[in-house]
Structure formats: C-alpha cells, structure tokens
Amino acid sequence: MTATGNRLASSAPVRPAHRVASASVSQVARELDMSSETLRTWVRRHEHEEGRRDEPLPVDERARLKELERRNRELEMEVAFLKKGVPRMREAACGS
C-alpha cells in the first residue's frame, strides 16, 4: 500500500464485511494487517467528516452543560411537587 496525499492507494479490494458493528477496531486492524491506532484515527476522521462525531466540548461549555442539567433536575422536582399539591388545594378550596 502506498499513501497518495490523504488517500491510500491499494491493490487489495475493500472488503465490506468489516462494516459489522460488533467487530472491534483491534480485530479489524489485525485482519487488515495494520495498526489499530491508525485504523482508529481513520474511523474518527471519517465519522467527523460525515458529521457523525462531535468534537469534545471545551471545559467551560462542559461546566455550563452540567449546571444546566442540574437546574433542569431541580425544576423537574419542583414541578412534580407542585403537581402533587394542586389536587389538595382544589379539595381545600371546594370543601370550604
């Protein structure tokens, strides 16, 4: 195999059998007689180019996301608490 720019030229045919999701990168790399890290890099690059892989969030964005998720949990608990109290308030208002 020889590298041509960013593409790999090879006389070996591409075997689509490696598209099996259950096969690990290490297993496929062994079958293709190549480094697992090289294959893993190619897979990541392909996923990124196809829009199937997002870049990791920066630290400040992760912190903000964590805070928003915490706040969302709090609000969900408040809503659940208030929903439990509404029937009691109606009973009290109608019963008096």
pLDDT at 92: 74
Find tokens 């009973």 and name the residue: 91
- DSSP summary character for residue 3: E
Q: Show the low-confidence residues of the chain (pLDDT under 50).
A: 1-4, 6, 17
CA distance readout (Å), 92 to 79, 80, 83: 20, 19, 15
For the chain, the structural domain boundaries read 20-55, 57-96
Question: 53: which 2 tokens?
Answer: 């892989």
Cα separation, 81 vs 77, whole angstroms? 6
